[in-house]
Chain A
């Protein structure tokens, strides 16, 4: 397989030569990128806000493909799991979709009584010239709830611009609620989407430490919590790609400091808690000790079992391809904890500094790749004799078709992988995947057995 000329600078093999990796640019036409679009970026970030109405303004497809798409759980309302589209038709494209949008919004708001509404613009809305801002203003005035336009026309850039548009919409909410009852030892949890209930695990840790969680943005998110999020003393930012814009703006405009954290893997999870404890050490006497006790207690439960898995996984090879590079750091470390080497790692939307960090983290010979595609990924899996590939739904059949184990670390997972308990789930899933006897029956497995015997 030869890598397309236009993509050669987006693939790097760790070695002697200095790292030059091209990234953060539009996908090469015809390369079959694994990326989605601006709309996707906005939609995934705002999706978990469970008491808001999410209306996709455009032809039907974009709403259909995102109906109940993420396993982002809610402890209460389930409105986010429904799919609403203005379903624009040919005549609407000619005559404009503003009236249809206004009417759809009014009907849906009357029926569902949401706390706010998000209106996602899709590609053609940006072209036919609908004044979505004006419609949102009018409906908001009539219905008395925030109606927020999200400028997520698919062609406006990559998923990153979608994240930014989502943050811009959130910024219109933050600061509009009362901060009464918020103490000085308080945080917002940014960038966890409560897949399989992960944000509940994290919230529980913070509460045990004596830290008040003001808003979880956006996992198990609620409009009223987001409105008063400016009352928190600290923002904890995971999935930095999607939420850094929000954190940065809140720092600039409201002086709220932020810390980058990750809740995946033992090291990163513990670090996140210790960093938070350190931040509040003066305000909250005993927090550092409480945190140490919490971490110690959790580790005592999971470490013996993880050690057992590690014995069976030692020396296996893994590949990682995820949306944001920040998650890749945690995965490389978590895999190392299980005794596994990451021989290929890549992301859809990493930045130069992310890839530099990955280079430092990885062993010699590791392939680091930006914005890859099925042909490249499959050739890397074969070249590196990978035992386990970690990615999302679109990567799964690439691995499976070649008889390579696969773990979903994206929207569709049903077991939490965050936190200490999540690390144990992760270890179990990796083991269950790699240890399955089915691989022995595949062409690749038979070949490997022959070469080992």
Chain B
């Protein structure tokens, strides 16, 4: 590797700005409209980016800063904007996320909202979150918004039997799967956020103001009365998460687990559910595990020793690393645009024997990733569609997972979690490698 001065510019970033994560999280609350306090373009760019992945309408309102707003403050725009959203959308909740502009001019949104009185529409709730794009990534914006929802809506009360689940930035298919698993264990849960329906809905004959589905506001309010909180993500901080906030304020116990990607991480996850429910893993899931491990055996020769570049959101990369390591693939580069400071440790913790041969880097962009990857001779890339140009340049296949998938349909239907998700990942990885071997063989074998 050429040693030289680090680049100052970010080139082909492997991250997005915090308001995007805020909008995504807010789409997971029933009857909620995401509202950006900032320039018109912020809402439009984020809508476009999310639409290209989910292929669903994503309405995001904006206060729309002008030159005058920037000089005199955005109070009027914010008030008019909220009233107009209320008139048009009849929301149950408006979630206000700030962009870099109001944060830079020092606007106190909390105070402005305190002074806000809606004009004559049905009542709705307001939640606000500070998400300037110069601080953190879209994942940080996502978590900050979930925290704001919990902090600003939750009430305490006598503890019940429910379990709060904070899944992180997973796909709609993952959310549906999680709900199924919890239901199979007969555990009463509140999943926050839940955009499994709002961002993957059916055809309609009438446009909906806000799409059906999402975590009901009432359920969010009741999270302070839960029996415990389960948060998924090995790179989550110890403090400042929704689960830790609920613990501090209402004494709701919390457990932190990695994303259940692959057999080992899923085993840990299922063990916790067993413990919480007092039931063994339901037969359906035990069988899925059985078939999964059976397929690992069937396919092990096609994948062993192959070299992978893994990139994307930190917790996704950690989960994928665990999965790849357990099937005998060597992750050679694990990269993320995120900068939690906990990524390297989390990857090493799940990589097992593969830990020695892997370069792990946070705060990486795709151009730097390419510079490093070229020297590592990877067999394939696994991550979002944004790695396509790099895969093309390296002439290796790209297995599309995570967010965003802008060059295929069905990004919202990719299942990553649990035994079922691992089955899909394993089949995708193995078949991709088999297809590559077949296509590049001069013989063209018909049995592999």
Residue count of chain A within 8 Å CB distance of chain B = 77
| A-chain residues with CB within 8 Å of residue B19 when the two chains form the complex | 61
Query: Given that A40-B45, A67-B12 are known contacts, is A396 also in contact with B51, CB under 8 Å in the complex?
Result: yes
Please determine whether A82 and B11 come into contact, CB atoms closer than 8 angstroms: yes
Binds B, one of A121-129, A184-192, A419-427: A121-129
For the complex of A and B, the 8 pairs showing the least CB-CB separation, nearest first, are A37-B41, A61-B17, A30-B84, A30-B81, A29-B81, A378-B207, A154-B39, A104-B9
Can you pick out 15 interface pairs between chain A and chain B where the beta carbons lie within 8 Å of each other? A28-B84, A60-B17, A60-B133, A64-B13, A64-B15, A64-B17, A82-B11, A127-B70, A155-B101, A378-B207, A393-B51, A394-B51, A401-B207, A403-B203, A444-B205
B1: interface (CB < 8 Å): no
Chain B minimum-CB-distance residue to A381: B207
Cβ-defined partner of A397 (8 Å) among B12, B51, B82 = B51
Select which of A2, A87, A379 is within 8 A of B13 by beta carbon: A87
Q: Which of B62-109 contact A (CB under 8 A)?
A: 62-67, 69-70, 77-78, 80-85, 87-89, 99-101, 104-105
A36 CB-CB contact with B under 8 Å = yes
Contact A401 B204, beta carbon cutoff 8 Å: yes
Q: Does A113 have its Cβ within 8 Å of any Cβ on chain B?
A: no
A88-96, A211-219, A288-296: which lies at the interface? A88-96
Asked whether A171 is an interface residue with its Cβ less than 8 Å from the other chain, the reply is no
Q: Which of B20, B89, B104 has the most CB of A within 10 A?
A: B104
Complex interface: chain B residues within 8 A of A88 (CB): 134
A residues less than 8 Å from B182 (CB atoms)? none
Q: Report B-chain residues with C-beta under 8 Å of the C-beta of A447.
A: 205
Residues of A within 8 A of B (CB): 2, 4, 6, 26-40, 55, 58-68, 81-90, 92-93, 100, 103-104, 107-108, 122-124, 126-128, 154-158, 373-375, 378-379, 382, 393-394, 396-398, 400-403, 442-444, 447
Interface digits, B185-209 against A, CB 8 Å rule (1 contact, 0 not)?
0000000000000000101111101
> Do the beta carbons of B44 and A37 come within 8 Å of each other?
yes
Specify which of A2, A58, A157 is in contact with B100 (CB 8 Å cutoff): A58
How distant is the Cα of A335 from the Cα of B313 in the complex, in angstroms?
A: 45
Contacts of A396 in B (CB 8 A): 51, 55
Q: Are B134 and A154 in contact (CB under 8 A)?
A: no
Q: Does B35 contact A (CB under 8 A)?
A: yes
Judge whether B342 is part of the interface by a CB distance below 8 angstroms: no
CA distance A34 to B135 in the complex (A): 27
* Other A-B pairs beyond A90-B132, A90-B134, A154-B40, 11, CB < 8 Å: A32-B85, A59-B134, A62-B41, A64-B16, A65-B16, A65-B45, A86-B10, A88-B134, A103-B8, A155-B65, A447-B205
A401 to B57, CA, bound (A): 7
A84 with B46: CB separation less than 8 A: no
* Complex: A2 Cα to B35 Cα, angstroms: 20
In the bound complex, CA of A63 to CA of B81 (Å): 26
Chain A residues with Cβ below 8 Å from B134 are 59, 88-90, 92-93, 124
A104 to B11 alpha-carbon distance, docked (Å): 10
Question: For the complex, what is the distance from the CA of A401 to the CA of B211, rounded to whole Å?
Answer: 11
Q: Could you tell me if A83 and B203 are in contact, using CB atoms closer than 8 angstroms?
A: no
Chain B residue, CB-CB nearest to A375 = B88
Find out whether the CB atom of B13 lies under 8 angstroms from the CB atom of A393: no
Of the candidates A31, A82, A393, which one forms a contact with B12 in the assembled complex, judged by CB atoms under 8 Å apart?
Answer: A82
Q: Do residues A154 and B41 form an inter-chain contact, with CB atoms below 8 A?
A: yes
CB of B29 within 8 A of chain A? no
A-contact 0/1 string along B37-52, CB 8 Å cutoff: 0111111111111011
**Who on chain A is nearest to B41 by CB?**
A37
Complex interface: chain A residues within 8 A of B101 (CB)? 123-124, 127, 154-155
CB distance from B51 to the nearest CB of A (A): 5
B12 touches A155 (CB 8 A): no
B207→A397 contact, CB < 8 A: no
Contact A126 B70, CB 8 Å, known A63-B13, A104-B8: yes
Let me know if B45 and A29 touch, CB within 8 A: no
Partner of B9, one of A32, A59, A85: A85
Q: Contact residue range for chain B?
A: 35 or more
A84 B11 Cβ-Cβ under 8 A: yes
Given the known A-B contacts A61-B16, A157-B67, A382-B207, are A87 and B41 also in contact in the complex, defined by CB atoms under 8 Å? no
Q: Determine whether B389 belongs to the interface, using a CB cutoff of 8 Å to chain A.
A: yes
Any chain A CB within 8 A of the CB of B56?
yes
CB distance from B146 to the nearest CB of A (A): 20
Contact check, B67 vs A155: say whether CB atoms are below 8 A apart: yes
Given contacts A31-B88, A83-B13, A401-B57, whether A65 and B207 have CB atoms under 8 Å apart is: no
Q: How far is the CB of A49 from chain B (nearest CB, A)?
A: 18
How far is B38's CA from A37's CA once the two chains are assembled, in angstroms?
11
Question: Within the assembled complex, what's the spacing in Å between the Cα atoms of A9 and B20?
Answer: 32
Instruction: Name the contact of B20 in the complex, choosing from A4, A61, A158 (C-beta under 8 A).
Output: A61
B12 near A83 with CB under 8 A, answer yes
- Most B C-beta atoms less than 10 A away, residue of A67, A124, A402: A124
Determine if B359 is an interface residue (Cβ-Cβ < 8 Å): no
CA distance A398 to B208 in the complex (A): 10
Q: Are A402 and B204 in contact (CB under 8 A)?
A: yes
Residues of B contacting A108 in the complex (Cβ-Cβ under 8 angstroms): 9
**Does B42 lie within 8 Å of A154, measured CB to CB?**
yes
Give the contacting residue for A29; candidates B48, B56, B63, B207; CB below 8 A. Answer: B63
B7 in the interface, Cβ–Cβ < 8 Å? yes
B401 part of interface (Cβ distance < 8 Å): no
* List of B residues within 8 angstroms of A38 by Cβ: 41
Give the residue name and chain of the A residue nearest to B389 (CB): A68
Residue B292 is within 8 A (CB to CB) of chain A in the complex: no
Q: Residue B376 at the A interface, CB < 8 A? A: no
Interface residues of B in 353-367 (CB under 8 A from A): 367
Closest to B134 in A: A59
Interface status of B58 (Cβ within 8 A of chain A): yes
Docked CA distance A63–B134 (Å):
13
User: Is B315 interfacial (CB 8 A cutoff)?
Assistant: no
Asked if B263 is an interface residue, CB under 8 A from chain A, the answer is no
Q: Are A403 and B205 in contact (CB under 8 A)?
A: yes
Query: Quick one: closest B residue to A398, CB to CB?
Result: B57
Query: Is there an interface contact between B15 and A60, defined as CB atoms closer than 8 Å?
Result: yes
Minimum CB–CB distance from B216 to chain A (whole Å) comes to 22
A445 to chain B, nearest CB (A): 9
Most buried by B among A4, A59, A68, A157: A59
Question: A86 and B204 in contact (CB under 8 A), knowing A58-B100, A123-B100, A393-B51?
Answer: no
List of A residues within 8 angstroms of B45 by Cβ: 36, 40, 61-62, 65-66
CB distance from A389 to the nearest CB of B (A): 13
B115 to chain A, nearest CB (A): 16
Contact A123 B65 (CB under 8 A): yes
The distance from the CB of A80 to the nearest CB of chain B, in whole angstroms, is 13
